[in-house]
Amino acid sequence: MFKKVLVANRGEIAIRVMRACKELDVSTVAVYSEADKEALFTKYADEAYFIGPSPSSKSYLNIDKILDVAEKSGAEGIHPGYGFLSENAEFARECKKRGIVFIGPSSKTIEQMGSKIEAKTLMIKAGVPVIPGDDRAVEDADTAMDIADSIGYPVMLKASAGGGGIGMKIVYSRDEVADTLSSVRAVAESTFGDSTVFIEKYLEEPRHIEIQILADSYGNTVYVSDRECSIQRRHQKLMEEAPSPIMTPELRKRMGEAAIKVAKTIGYESAGTVEFLYSKGDFYFLEVNTRLQVEHSITEMVTGIDLAKEQLHIACGRELPFKQEDIKINGCSIECRINAEDPLNDFAPSPGKILRYRSPGGPGVRVDSGVHMGYVISPFYDSMVAKLSVWGRTRDEAIARMKRALFEYVITGVTTNIPFHEVVLDNDAFIKGELTTHFIDDHNILADVVSMVEHDSAKKGTLATALYGDDKNNDKKIAAISAAVGSYVQTCKKQYSEK
């Protein structure tokens, strides 16, 4: 096992990896930017090094600075977490050049899966089902129209180098193709530095289902569990659960074996996720996330497997300690991404200082977070406050437990998406497991969030009390806050109705 590991990330994922290291008696090294100099993860690590200004391009994406710290601190391995450099093939290559272990797959594997066109081509050759489409790079609008006509509308225009739902747009008719192609290309170039676009069939009523895999350097590969990730906003996941409500032993076996075929095709080693779209009884390869996923915690809760530890063991050359038949799924787990963003204002980020913070607890509740009272949510990075995960013996129990945990969560000073999660959990279609990637729009979830906040006067009182305490002399202040909340809701309601 490593003696020392550098975690090239921040926030809750940095702490998550450091916790795994601590249990394995591995020393940890943190790197931090100006915005994170007082962050919790820098205090948790055994050593912490400043690497630059707040913008990630000058700190967390600076390969040379991070590798210099690794060499200076004597770190033998680097765990990239997720985001930032986690799927950067150049970073993986540079680690190898300097004799530092990149705790993840090889640079070649990352490169292959970094291009959606190359990934799709490889999967077709391997016999893995893919979404019908054309894997050629689209050169001009006329070609795009011809391809879309041949596939049949609706189609999806996708940036080849894209990820996280960026650079993807649906086209419903020939008239929309030219403008959409121009838009997607512009986004792809500005975000990924690669304007390559391809076209595939847009699936109706799709579900987004992931298969977690683990693969060692001895040729052993297992699928650990499936996850349902269909609750999304602009292709960004907001809530996940394991296992998927539609999963059967037969379907899990088929999808799991397909995921293993994907992994073996690209020579995968480490923890990773093979993503599929499921529609009307069939599933199709979407992409491979060559890293630890945000939502890995719910897989850990239903299987008892510590995925971060397994990553470390695999990177050190250890063989997987279990076989496929040893992996069992127990109960159900749900994760809500608690973000500092406003669901009533198109999920706009809400950076600022957390004035009060109390996280939930009790049986079956897990909170992965890097914040605390007085912590400032920075505008420079992702707005995540915490990952709230719960486990239940059944899906119904997990839903009830999550509702209870959300009720206990106290966060003031920034707007959060907690009301959004509460509305989803109360939705009849969600309770029945009837999910698609269009769930939010199909069920008018945001309108329901407006109604809930508008009519829940008790929450207005709770907010006022949180800000001003229980002093009865603060009635005027409480009334003022309640009026302000009411005014805010009316403004958001108007914005929503105009969209």
Show which residues are catalytic. Answer: 291
What DSSP element (H or E) covers 357? strand 356-358
Q: Which residues have C-beta within 8 Å of that of residue 398, sequence separation ≥ 6?
A: 241, 331, 332, 333, 334, 364, 390, 391, 392
Q: What is the DSSP string of 187-251?
A: HHHHHHS---EEEEEPPSS-EEEEEEEEE-TTS-EEEEEEEEEEEEETTEEEEEEES-TT--HHH
- CA 15 – CA 28 distance, rounded (Å): 10
Match 């409500």 to its residue by tokens. 245
Angle, to 10 degrees, between the axis of helix 475-498 and the axis of helix 445-455? Answer: 160
Q: Report the SS3 class of residue 338.
A: strand
Query: Position 495: which residue type?
Result: Q
Q: Which residues have C-beta within 8 Å of that of residue 168, sequence separation ≥ 6?
A: 156, 157, 158, 159, 162, 184, 235
How many Cα atoms sit within 13 Å of 102 on the Cβ side? 27
Are the C-beta atoms of 185 and 195 separated by less than 8 Å?
yes
- CA 194 – CA 50 distance, rounded (Å): 31
How far is CA 9 from its chain centroid? 15
Alpha carbon dihedral 463, 386, 84, 298, in 10-degree steps, equals -150
CA angle 23, 28, 33 (to 5 degrees): 135
Alpha carbon dihedral 235, 237, 243, 249, in 10-degree steps, equals 10
Angstrom CA distances, 100 to 70, 94, 499, stand at: 8, 8, 51
The total number of residues shown for the chain amounts to 499
The CB-based long-range contact list for 90-93 (8 Å cut-off, 24+ gap) reads 90/63, 91/63
